[in-house]
Every structure is written in structure tokens, then in C-alpha cells.
């Protein structure tokens, strides 16, 4: 059993969501969290979780939450790999702006053959990170997360490397890219206001004020 993993788009989306919440939440993922993330009603989630359980992709304990099985995690990883490879492809080869690739990849990831995915990976030189700095699972579907800190918690005067930011909010991404702040650049924290206030970073000679939410979403090292 190494290749019986074709799944519907909906199933792939659920597995991706469970995976994402599992890593953020530690422990079984509650139904409502999934419903929120996927933009469907809790009732719909309940029904799908039953199916995922029957398919052996997740273990769902009633009223407790859901956990991925090894097989479910593989499907999630495969989808994540496709997603991130596509994002990089769109940015590198097709000049799609940074902030638009996520939605596009979200659709394409479900209709990509294994063969094409690997061809894309080869063309891109077997990349390890997507344009937002998110790690791309290996061909063997292993994923290693990097240690990062939130930009929020960096002290004044510290100089750090901007590693990663969520791909979910196009407005944030546009704001950052307009200022040349993309994963890989070096930032120095020049000033910092408490209580979600703005944080000032110096980069390539210019100063930029970053709102609390933005700073919280940015991961650095």
C-alpha cells in the first residue's frame, strides 16, 4: 500500500485543514475550528469527518475531535507539496504577483498528476521553500519545520532574518512586497510599541512601520 491515495478536492481540503490546525493546536482538532477555517457549517464538517474516519484517513472520536492517521497525513503532505510547488512555479516562471498565488494554487493543487508535480519540482531545482518561506514537503513527503520566532517578540536593536509569513492574506503580502520585505531579507528592529502597536524595522536603508497583526504574522530567526 503505497499509492492508493486519490481523494476528492473536498477531502484534500479537509485533510490540509486538519493538519494545519493539528500543528497549531496540539491534540485533536475540534469540529468548529474546522468549520471556521473551511467556511462551512459544523454540520457539514461532522458528516465529512465520519467519511474520513471510514476511509481510514482520520480518527474521529465523537464530541472530542479529529486526528489524522498516517495515511491521512500523507495525503495532506502530498497536497501541501503540490500547493507550495505551484506557488513557487507561478511566481518564478509565470510572474504572478506574490499575493495572488495562494488562491490560484488552492484550485490547481487538486488536479495535478504526480508526474507533473515532480516535473515542476525538477524544473524549479527541487526547492525547499515556497515564495512565502513555507517549507515544501520532500518527494518522500517528509516535512521539517524551521525554528522561528514571531517578529513581535524581537527586542529593539536586534537584527534578524525574515523567514516566513502566512500566504493567506493578500493585503499583507502586497504591503510587504511593495516595501521589498520578502523572505530572506535582513531586518533590524528600530522601534517597538507595546499592546499591538506598530513596530519599526530598518531594511536596506529605509524604515517601515508594521502594525501589530502584521508583525505577529511574520516569522524570523
Distances (CA, A) of 192 to 47, 58, 198: 46, 43, 6
- C-beta closer to DNA: residue 42 or 211: 42
By beta-carbon proximity to its own copies, the closer residue of 115 and 140 is: 115
Restricting to residues 112-141, name those near its own copies by CB under 8 A.
112-113, 115-116, 119-120, 123
Tell me the C-alpha distance between 155 and 169, whole Å: 26
160, 130 contact by CB (below 8 A): no
DSSP helix/strand/coil, 41: coil
Q: How far apart, in whole angstroms, are the C-alpha atoms of residue 85 and residue 88?
A: 5
Q: How far is the CB of 43 from DNA (least distance, A)?
A: 3
Out of 110, 149, 179, 202, point to the residue binding its own copies (CB under 8 A).
110
Residue 31 interacting entry, from its own copies, DNA, none, C-beta within 5 to 8 Å by type: DNA
Under the criterion CB under 7 A, does residue 194 sit at the interface with DNA? Answer: no
Site for DNA in 28-57 (CB under 7 A): 30-33, 38-51
For residues 74 and 37, what is the distance between their CA atoms, to the nearest angstrom? 20
What is the enclosing helix (H) or strand (E) of 176? Answer: helix 170-178
Closer residue to its own copies in complex, CB, 106/158: 106
Q: Which of its own copies, DNA, none lies near 100, with the C-beta cut-off 5 to 8 A by kind?
A: its own copies
Amino acid at each position: 500500500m503505497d499509492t492508493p491515495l486519490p481523494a476528492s478536492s473536498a477531502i484534500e481540503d479537509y485533510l490540509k485543514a486538519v493538519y494545519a490546525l493539528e500543528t497549531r493546536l496540539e491534540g485533536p482538532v475540534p469540529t468548529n475550528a474546522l468549520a471556521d477555517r473551511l467556511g462551512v457549517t459544523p454540520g457539514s464538517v461532522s458528516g465529512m469527518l465520519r467519511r474520513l474516519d471510514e476511509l481510514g484517513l482520520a480518527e474521529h472520536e465523537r464530541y472530542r475531535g479529529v486526528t489524522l492517521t498516517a495515511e491521512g497525513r500523507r495525503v495532506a503532505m502530498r497536497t501541501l507539496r503540490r500547493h507550495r510547488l505551484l506557488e513557487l512555479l507561478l511566481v518564478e516562471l509565470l510572474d504572478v504577483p506574490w499575493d495572488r498565488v495562494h488562491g490560484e494554487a488552492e484550485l490547481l493543487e487538486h488536479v495535478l498528476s504526480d508526474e507533473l508535480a515532480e516535473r515542476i519540482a525538477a524544473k524549479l531545482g527541487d526547492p525547499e521553500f515556497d515564495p512565502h518561506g513555507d517549507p515544501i514537503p520532500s518527494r518522500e513527503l517528509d516535512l521539517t519545520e524551521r525554528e522561528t520566532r514571531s517578529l513581535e517578540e524581537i527586542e529593539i536593536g536586534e537584527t534578524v532574518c525574515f523567514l516566513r509569513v502566512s500566504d493567506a492574506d493578500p493585503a499583507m503580502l502586497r504591503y510587504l512586497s511593495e516595501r521589498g520585505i520578502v523572505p530572506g531579507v535582513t531586518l533590524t528592529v528600530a522601534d517597538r510599541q507595546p499592546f499591538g502597536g506598530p513596530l519599526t524595522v530598518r531594511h536596506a536603508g529605509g524604515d517601515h512601520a508594521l502594525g501589530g497583526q502584521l508583525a505577529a504574522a511574520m516569522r524570523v530567526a
